[in-house]
Homo-oligomer: A and B are copies of this chain.
């Protein structure tokens, strides 16, 4: 954990931002709940346990900042709000998500396998790909 906080501090300092207790607390919640894809409101509820006076606006601001610094990623899983997750390996393209249309479970896919498609796109469309978001919709093991 401490190494992630150090990395946060470094990235913040690089851009002239400060490492505040609130920012530390928000990132800790996101890391501790890895794989949960928490919304801002959910992060707010958890972070208040250790940081009771934090304001919701601060959570929103911190999340925006963490996203800008590439420390977290934003997901949209079709349920009306943005959700967030920690970028374990910095600079890596994002993993994929399987969304079950029956039970709404979200499953993570760690294999990427988009190299060939990305290569074709770069060549045929002259588009430089920096990241991707891939969602598959269907039925999970239990629901099909």
Inter-subunit contact B125/A129 (CB<8 Å):
no
Q: Considering only CB atoms, which chain B residue lies closest to A122 in the complex?
A: B138
Inter-subunit contact A127/B135 (CB<8 Å):
no
Inter-subunit contact A109/B121 (CB<8 Å):
yes
Point out the residue from B124, B134, B140 that lies within 8 Å of A127, measured CB to CB: B140
Point out the residue from B113, B118, B124, B144 that lies within 8 Å of A136, measured CB to CB: B118
Number of interface residues of A (CB under 8 A): 36
A98 is an interface residue with CB less than 8 A from chain B: yes
Flag A59-100 by CB within 8 Å of B: 1 or 0 each.
000000000000000101010000000000000000010101
How many Å from the CB of A114 to the closest CB on chain B?
A: 7
